[in-house]
Structure 1
Amino acid sequence: MEISTTKVPTHEQIIALYDSVGWSAYTDQPDVLARAHANSDFLVYAYYDDHQLIGLARAISDDATICYLQDILVHPQAQRTGAGRELFSAVRKRFEHLRQFVLITDDEPGQRAFYESMGLSEGSDFEHGSVRIFARFL
């Protein structure tokens, strides 16, 4: 497996990856997804055999106080291979100087376990008082 920030996949590879995990809200509007990637602050990719895209992580940040991890996805056939862990670690390393690292995700036990293993806490579980997260989804 290769992790890269410079080896950018084709738009078709990106769409196929999002399709593989069922994220149709992105693939139904491929031009919007392309714009989202173009406007992101940090993208990192995971490849198998030097050419097959198996995962990516996308972050948005002011590079001063906060990083928002918007997307982290791994092709179902490559899950549990360490790809997600390496992608997550690459984003954390890039933004390790920031005070806030934020992620919003589905309410699935496996995801909670993964993010907790990576050092994140759910807002209601913070030791120094809970954190409220407000969001709007259309």
Structure 2
Amino acid sequence: MPITYARDRRIGRDEFIDLLSRSTLGERRPIDDPACIDAMLANANLLITAWDGDRLVGVARSVTDFAYCCYLSDLAVDAGMQRAGIGRELIRLTQAALGPKAKLILLSAPKAVDYYPRVGFTRHENAYIIAATESLR
């Protein structure tokens, strides 16, 4: 069965948690915090999903202004279906949904650092993060 893709097809918390658990992102996402997962889904304003029949096999979850930048918060593909072009297509469809000047920004999972340059991303050395548990000095 061919993989189908959808834009802004809402997914449920359990579907999202199940996919995260079947991908490498499960270990770095709050899958044991349902309220946080609900907020992550509710507040993403661009969601591209990949389906094998009725089974969610991939998701690109983003926050964007559609004009200047898009933060690709999550790119998750079922581990058993990786290397089939699903992640690349999710990124392509995300980029296609943006305005012509909008850049795509993401933080790579450690296991995916080598993937992103292969699909066209340029590594940026000037990115910073501050954890929710840290205070601004």
The two structures have a TM-score, normalised by structure 1, of 0.83
Q: Which residue of 2 aligns with 1:113?
A: 114
- CA-CA distance at 1:104 after TM superposition: 0.7
Q: Which runs of 5 or more residues in structure 2 are unaligned?
A: 133-137
Verify: 1:37 aligned to 2:37, yes or no.
Answer: no
1:10 maps to 2:4: no
Structure 1 segments (4+ residues) deviating >4 Å: none
User: CA separation in 2, counterparts of 1:56 and 1:101?
Assistant: 15
Identity, % of aligned positions: 23
2:135 aligned residue: none
Q: Which amino acid aligns with 2:63?
A: I
- SS for the counterpart of 1:23 is helix
Find the residue that maps to 2:95 and give its secondary structure. Answer: helix
Deviation for aligned residue 1:137? 2.4
Give the deviation of 1:30 after TM superposition.
1.6
CA distance in 2, matches of 1:120, 1:11: 29
Mark the runs of 5 or more structure 1 residues left unpaired by the alignment: 125-131
Q: Please state how far the C-alpha of 1:114 moved relative to its aligned partner.
A: 2.0
Do the aligned partners of residues 106 and 10 (structure 1) sit closer, same or farther apart at CA in structure 2, a change above 3 Å counting? closer
Residue from 58, 66, 69 that aligns with 2:61: 58
Which AA in structure 2 matches 1:106? Answer: A
